[in-house]
Structure 1
């Protein structure tokens, strides 16, 4: 009698384990599908083509983070503005799920739409921020927006809680631009975003990043920025293209042990055209 009950109990336990295993596999398959959908959503929202102008090179790199079942909301973008300049943005949405990927698309579309109203990076980020706050989405995004005047090489830049960008010139100078920025987008109504002015010199580059490129378990943010600065220095001395520099930076991202998306946007001057000075007619 005791033996029969033990056999019955064992069979019941095996049945329960089988049911639990099947359910776990079904849930894992559903979650994998959600991750695959989010990754496709991200990739579909990234620009298919980048602007082409004489003397200007744009290079980009992007890797979605699919560590475990997470997916993030990093993006890059570059597009022509109504006044003939080029708008460039890079950013990172809080969170690691399909909602973050969808919110990334909203931010990118908002930046493009509002850039037709104002090309000033500070005002553009302020308008985008107020729009996102009004949506009450419980998400926020960090972002850098740059406007490049292709006639003069002038770069106007504003940051919203985002990590600094990096620059290097053909005469051996380089640095990390850590000047003051504003808060992340979607957090504080009426926030302001200071604008910094730069100049893209012949043979020089600017490197815009998300933190997944330069920060992770194997690398601190400061060390990561220093390594990218060194890569930019080497690139301008060696005359590397913006595409080649972007690929080199993404190799660094593979080594940091990050669990986040990684995106990079490089803008460079290849010497193919001469800028007109801002004071020239």
Structure 2
């Protein structure tokens, strides 16, 4: 299809009005919507007015049967517009003389009304969207406020969690220190050792300086003691001395101490039942932390218990030592027989056991050498040891030999102390006889050194321990001992160590006896010391030690 095109000359306002009217009719016939017509015609009118102001212009209108309309306005300001119409566009007229201006004016009002209606709809739509946008903005603002509140609450929760974690970590650290410090303090039963360890534990983390004042200790003049320490000793209550109140839990406040005017002092009484001393700490910083103070109060209480335990232990040990020392006999001076003995308490624990030695003459002139060991430690073991020693002497006075004495002791212990056991070895030396008669009840074997240095262990099987709940009769053994021979009786503490068995210790003792020489063969006391030196090279032992040496001399033959 071909396009129809017309050229109109626009020389006056009437020409412009007619051109606008014709184009309005063409667009209406082509079913162009009123809003689009009004917008196009409005733009055309403005261009035509400008063209007239410039002296006029040519207007070319081209109509395409397929629904296209092209308008070209010449002149100083060329303008061109193309429209796609819903329906075919009629061919434009060849001239403008027959343009219906009146109808065009009415049609223009109709188009303006359509545009205004469209604008009203648009304004209503805009109002609706504006209200919707306002509501959305209000929701967004409310959401932002809720998010801000949630973020603030989350920050507060995180801060609280961090504070709780820090508090829990500090509590864990304090409890760990308290447990470790308590273990250190209660591991010792020495009063002085506990007092020495307290400053080592507390400086410098919990105190800049620590002073321990033991009540009744007059080594430090009263003027050198802080008033808080004196008050704590008198009242039994913890005292805090500083320029400002500490308000610490369970602690009384006092003015600043003259001995430490710049740093707070904390004086804590030591003692579980009575005040044994005062622990005074100089603050490591500007003040004492309340949680740390609670830990220090508990540490002072536990230190007081440790000191009280050490004091009771020392009293118990002194009584037991005195009892046991009283049971150790003086060795008799006997013709033809030299005797030497050593007793060493254990270096660990209560230090008092049931080890004992004894040597005494019988009515017939023979000498009994005895060594024994009661199971257990402490006062009970020492008391039972004393009972056995007394009973043994009584049975010996009646003329009983070593085996019969052990049998009677076994019967007595079974009936009187059924839960207690003991080992014992008895050797009887008779003047004028070259041998020794011996018997043993569960005791380590004796070691013999001959006059020429030969050493042997008496491997004869000993009887059962005294007190074992079965009837038993012990046997005697006879051993020849030429003059110059040495018989060693001992308790298991001499030869037994945790790191090695008892057999290794017995071998070590046999080697030490074989190595005796020189002055050791002349002086039996020197021989005893020479034997203990290699046997106790580590200087520590877990059990008591008894050693009884018996050496025959030519006078015994």
With the length of structure 1 as denominator, give the TM-score of the two structures: 0.88
**What residue is the counterpart of 2:366 in the other structure?**
85
Are residues 105 and 253 of structure 1, via their aligned partners in 2, closer, same or farther at CA, if it must alter by over 3 Å? Answer: farther
CA RMSD of aligned residues (A): 2.3
Q: Which residue of 2 aligns with 1:279?
A: none
Q: Indicate the SS of the match to 2:438.
A: strand
Report which of the two structures shows the higher radius of gyration computed on alpha carbons: 2
Structure 1: 4+ residue segments shifted above 4 A: none
Structure 2 runs not aligned, ≥5 long: 1-162, 164-246, 250-289
Deviation at 1:155, TM superposition (A): 0.9
Moved more, 257-266 or 210-219: 210-219
Q: Give the whole-Å Cα distance in 1 for the aligned partners of 2:395 and 2:478.
A: 21
2:487 aligned with 1:211: no
Structure 1: stretches of 5+ with no match in the other structure: 276-281
Paired position in structure 1 for 2:335? 54
1:236 is displaced (CA, Å) by 6.3
Per the TM alignment, residue 263 of structure 1 is displaced from its structure 2 partner at its CA by 0.7
**Is 1:21 the counterpart of 2:303 in the alignment?**
yes
The alpha carbon displacement at 1:137 in A equals: 5.0
Shift in alpha-carbon separation, 1:110–1:72, aligned structure 2, 3 A = same
- Measure the CA separation in 1 of the matches of 2:423 and 2:414: 14
What SS class does the counterpart of residue 484 from structure 2 fall into? coil
More helix by share: 2
* Change beyond 3 A, Cα 1:172–1:136: closer
Aligned to 1:133: 414
* 1:268 aligned onto 2:556: no
Aligned 8 A contact 1:253 1:262 in 2? no
Match of 2:383 in 1: 102
Corresponding residue for residue 119 of structure 1 = 400
1:180–1:194 CA contact under 8 A, matched in 2: no
| In 2: Cα distance, 1:19 partner to 1:167 partner | 56
Deviations 1:215-272 (A, max 9, x none): 113553222222222232333676333222211222234225421001100100233x
Q: How far 1:103 sits from its partner (Å)?
A: 1.2
The residue number in structure 1 matching 2:527 is 245
* Residue of structure 2 equivalent to 1:278: none
Which residue does the alignment assign to 2:455? Answer: 174
Q: Which has the higher contact order (CA 8 A, sep 6+)?
A: 1
Map of 1:228 onto structure 2: 509
Pairs aligned (count): 270
Alpha-carbon distance in structure 2 between the residues aligned to 1:51 and 1:70: 27
Comparing 234-243 with 258-267, greater Cα deviation is found at 234-243
